[in-house]
Amino acid sequence: GSFHDDDDKDVDHLWNEHRLFPPSSLASRLWSSFLRKLFVINLLVLPVDLCFYHLHVRPEEVLAFRDISDPLDLVIDAFFLIEFFVTFNTTYRHTDTNELEMSRWKIMMRYVTSWAPLDFVASFPWVMIDPRDRYIRWVKILKLLRALSFLHKKGKVDSGKAVHVRRVLMVLSYFGIVAHWVACLWWLIGASETDRAFYVGAKQDET
């Protein structure tokens, strides 16, 4: 907990003197918690968006859902793009000395050569390219790469009491999200079979 306390004290100094953010201050932990909640929304909305793209199956409901999901997706992407640029200005502690790195160039190069490419791909608003293209919409599955980034940062932001209760709730949430994805994919498989049967039947009627 001492590192967190030190970072809380260094917030003003780092920003005023170096225009940098500390790695684990209270503000950064709250920000990370907020981003994790946005990611959970992504996990819930994304499979519905990807699997229910068949416009001939209740097209009004599909389009009505997209009128909500697409703007929501853009808002979430905007917050993660902010995080992308904030990380370029967030210092880190050296593992051997626990000293904060103050060189902006070293901070940027460390991020560019590690998580920056993944974070950018996961945060890019792909839906803006062509919202109606089903293949472009499937590129949005790259947003799942955000999970890797959160796992990487988990040790830095996971602190406080009631850790075991939080872990149990997280496991239950994981099971719920996996069940949600399986249900959506199961519907997609059934819809694809219906499409295939409809296409074959139409061809037979033509002949």
Is 44 in contact with 180 (CB distance < 8 Å)? yes
Please tell me the distance from the alpha carbon of residue 147 to that of residue 41, in angstroms, as a whole number. 13
Question: For residue 58, what pLDDT is reported?
Answer: 58
pLDDT value at residue 199: 46
Q: State the pLDDT at residue 107.
A: 94
Q: How high is the mean pLDDT in each 10-residue block of the chain (207 residues)? A: 53 79 84 91 88 62 75 92 93 86 93 92 85 75 83 56 72 89 87 58 51
Is residue 66 within 8 Å of 131, Cβ to Cβ? Answer: yes
Q: The whole model's pTM is what?
A: 0.75
* pLDDT value, residue 34: 93
Phi-psi region of 108 (alpha: psi -120 to 50; beta: other; left: phi over 0): alpha
User: Structure tokens of 31?
Assistant: 């920000």
Distance of alpha carbon 155 from alpha carbon 126, whole angstroms: 30
For 21: left if phi > 0, alpha if psi spans -120 to 50, otherwise beta; the answer is beta
